[in-house]
Amino acid sequence: MSPAVPADAATARGGRLPLALYALTAGSFGIGCAEFVIMGLLLQVAADLQVTIAAAGMLVSGYALGVFAGAPVLTLLTRRMPRKAVLLALMVIYTVGNAACALAPDYTTLMLARVLTSLTHGTFFGVGAVVATGLVPPHRRASAISVMFSGLTLATLLGMPAGAWLGLHLGWRATFWAMALIGLVALRDELATVVRPQVLLGLLMTVLQSMGTFAVITYVQPLLTRVSGFGEAAVSPILLLFGGGMIVGNILGGRLADRAPTRALLGSLAALVLVLAAMTLAIHSQATVVAFVGILGVAAFATVSPLQLRVLRHASGAGENLASSFNIAAFNLGNGIGAWKGGIVVDHGPGLTALPWIAALAPLAALAVAWLSVRLEQGRGAAAPVAQACR
């Protein structure tokens, strides 16, 4: 029996180039457009942003200098990362950068957005060329590089006039929106993974968990001083307990998730709900509140590994890297919403003393979402054997 051959390699040996290579070509086309398209938009950009044509021309220089500086720096910074993850990250930066160009309210913002986009250029082509040669047998490596770089030549041939036409008829911003769309198309497989129902449920759990934690910890100083009666000098030492609790919780959550991921998810979220709810009473006692600050750190970070693992389990495949990044973004989104909601409670709601139990409602909602996710997963697992038996 011959060893299994990867699909892409088998395709290449059969005479056809692998589809993954054409995905790289699409990416190189988009990045090439980002460099050249501004040349057909100078008059519109100069008129709209009220700058000289020469200043608009500097947008080409800014991009070129960004490529010059960004290529070696980003290549060095990402040298230990998996090459596919690097390419995906670069396409995300490309997409965000072009969207920022389209939304730029003034010349300075547009220049900064152009430089941001340019940082992807050199590293994409450098890493992409290495990936392209790995997709084909040794005797076809030069052809693979040629196919990938054909996207750059097509950007010059088709991208520049198409961008100029869009700019003439729909405005220069439409051209940058079109390039952002190219980036989304290049990421379509990964984005399809991220919008899977179970992945979205996992991201929602992360947002809600983080909301609850940061609704309280953001306002821990006024809680400790105005409610618990501590002096301001005592806040820093008490916060050390929160940091220590985070370390313990992170390790504990990881070990529990290794043994029983679903139980660790449900159990850690339930523990966070209980800790926040009980903290409503604890804040009135100095000895108790000190202990609860440390316990909150444990409970909050015991959820991190189970939540991250949950997203990765359901995003396995093409979109795993992007889904993992989205989950980190979800943590920070929850941080921001939690701090904002906590501020509303403090200034316009029941006040500081009610903050812990109100914050507990967010991880309680996360627990409900987790329960629903598990039930849907179990229902799907039970239905699979039946579906197979009916075939």
Note the pLDDT tens digit of each residue in 185-213: 877 767 777 788 999 999 999 999 999 99
Query: Could you tell me which residue, 89 or 281, shows the higher pLDDT?
Result: 281
Residue range(s) defining the domain that contains residue 155: 10-186
Residue 303 domain-assigned? yes
The CATH number for 250's domain is: 1.20.1250.20
179 and 230 inside one domain: no
Cβ partners under 8 Å of residue 72, min gap 6:
122
Last residue of a domain, one of 186, 220, 247: 186
207 and 284 inside one domain: yes
Last residue of a domain, one of 137, 162, 186: 186
The tens digit of pLDDT for each residue in 342-383 reads 999 999 889 999 999 999 999 999 999 999 999 998 876 555
64 and 127 inside one domain: yes
Residue 386 domain-assigned? no
Q: How many CB atoms lie within 10 A of CB 168?
A: 15
Residue 73 domain-assigned? yes
304-314 per-residue burial string, b: 16 or more CB within 10 A, e: under 16 = bbbbbbbbbeb
206 and 228 inside one domain: yes
Residue 388 domain-assigned? no
Residue 5 domain-assigned? no
Residue 349 domain-assigned? yes
168 and 244 inside one domain: no
Sign (positive/negative) of CA torsion 182, 183, 188, 194? negative
The structure tokens listed for 97 are: 């950068």
> Could you give the CA distance from residue 352 to residue 209 in angstroms, rounded to a whole number?
20
Query: Under a CB-based contact definition with an 8 Å cutoff, are residues 362 and 216 in contact?
Result: no
300 and 347 inside one domain: yes
238 and 177 inside one domain: no
Please give the pLDDT value at position 137: 87
Please give the pLDDT value at position 73: 81
Confidence of residue 51 (pLDDT cuts 50, 70, 90): very high
Cβ partners under 8 Å of residue 1, min gap 6:
none
The structure tokens listed for 138 are: 């040794």
The tens digit of pLDDT for each residue in 90-118 reads 888 889 999 999 999 999 999 999 999 88
36 and 175 inside one domain: yes
Last residue of a domain, one of 158, 186, 214: 186
Query: What is the DSSP code (8-state) at residue 260?
Result: -
Number of domain units in the chain:
2
As to burial, measured by CB atoms within 10 angstroms (0-12 exposed, 13-18 middle, 19+ buried), residue 237 is exposed
Confidence of residue 279 (pLDDT cuts 50, 70, 90): very high
Residue 266 domain-assigned? yes
19 and 145 inside one domain: yes
266 and 139 inside one domain: no
Query: What is the DSSP code (8-state) at residue 2?
Result: P
* SS3 call for 264: helix
> Could you give the CA distance from residue 22 to residue 15 in angstroms, rounded to a whole number?
15
Confidence of residue 390 (pLDDT cuts 50, 70, 90): very low
The structure tokens listed for 184 are: 């989304």
159 and 37 inside one domain: yes
Please give the pLDDT value at position 182: 86
Confidence of residue 316 (pLDDT cuts 50, 70, 90): low
For residue 19, pLDDT over 90 is answered with: no
175 and 28 inside one domain: yes
Residue 323 domain-assigned? yes
- Per cent of the chain over pLDDT 90 is 52
- CA 359 to centroid of chain Cα atoms: 25
